[in-house]
Amino acid sequence: ETGPFGKVLLLDGKLQSAEADERVYHECLVHPALLHHPNPKRVFICGGGEGSTAREVLKHKSVEKVVMVDIDKVVCDFCEKHLEDNAETFKDPRLDLIIDDAKAQLENQKDGEFDVIIGDLADPVFGGPCYQLYTQEFYENIVKAKLGPGGIFVTQSGPAGVLAHSEVFTPINRTLSSVFPKVIPFLQHIPSFADCWGWNMAFKDADSAAPLAANEIDERIQDRITGGSDALKFMDGVTWTGITSLSKILRTSLNSEKHVLTVATPKFIHGKGVKQVEY
């Protein structure tokens, strides 16, 4: 429990989400991808153990199956017990929760199996296990193969403020652009993260209609999400226009980025998080 951010989730000293603004993060991660897909039925979530990503996915009426793979059972069980907003998510019959390595599980799925794949993974930190799921090899050999026609992949992409965006946000965009014909970067300030945060959305088909106009986003929210616009706290058409309208600094960096992330040439986010101190 904290003062300004309410209940927060910390893993290895790093803040993962806060009760006060987690819906901003998760609505940005989930809804643009599902709304851009014409009829999302099958969704795969890499990570997402706290359940908030699945909660947002399951608001879409068309969704029939959600496969969520997180490596940490302790996190999933803890969040199901202590995050009240997500308790029902874990009980939804459409959710298939698998405790395992997301990369291995996705690799074992049938080709073309999913309409949307979501990367809700921990940041690529030095010595951590997740950096391989931000690489060209993963995107080309696994993600792209498992997406069906018209498929969309979206991933959280780390800090995206004017000072930190070149750590991993722009390299992830460049890496995805080396694999997919169309990639849309977007960002939004997340107060509990103390910075703007970035996402990248990649389309398997070059002729996908994207980005959608604000009025089309609003129409799809109303038609395709249970509860319509009232079900979302942050995302709507004007918001979508705003988070995809990047500053000159960001646009320049994205256009000039050359680094393609591979297993041999990764990049990492700096920082070790906070530590508990005994008094």
Catalytic residues: 120
Q: What is the largest CA-CA distance in the chain?
A: 59
Provide the Cα torsion 180, 186, 257, 104; round to 10°. -50
Computed on alpha carbons and rounded to an integer, the radius of gyration of the chain in Å comes to 17
User: For residues 86 and 109, what is the distance between their CA atoms, to the nearest angstrom?
Assistant: 26
Q: Is the peptide bond before 185 cis (omega within 30 degrees of 0)?
A: no
Beta bridge partners of 44: 67, 117
Tokens representing 189 are 């300030």
HEC profile of 40-105: CCEEEEEECCCCHHHHHHCCECCCCEEEEEECCHHHHHHHHHHCHHHCCHHHCCCEEEEECCHHHH
> From the centroid of its chain, how far is CA 180?
17
Are the C-beta atoms of residues 102 and 117 closer than 8 Å to each other? no
Question: Can you tell me which residue has the tokens 């996402």?
Answer: 199
Full DSSP string of 215-240: HHHHHHHHHHBTTGGGG-SS-SHHHH
Nearest Cα neighbor of 196 from 21, 77, 13, 1 is 21
Tokens representing 31 are 């809804």
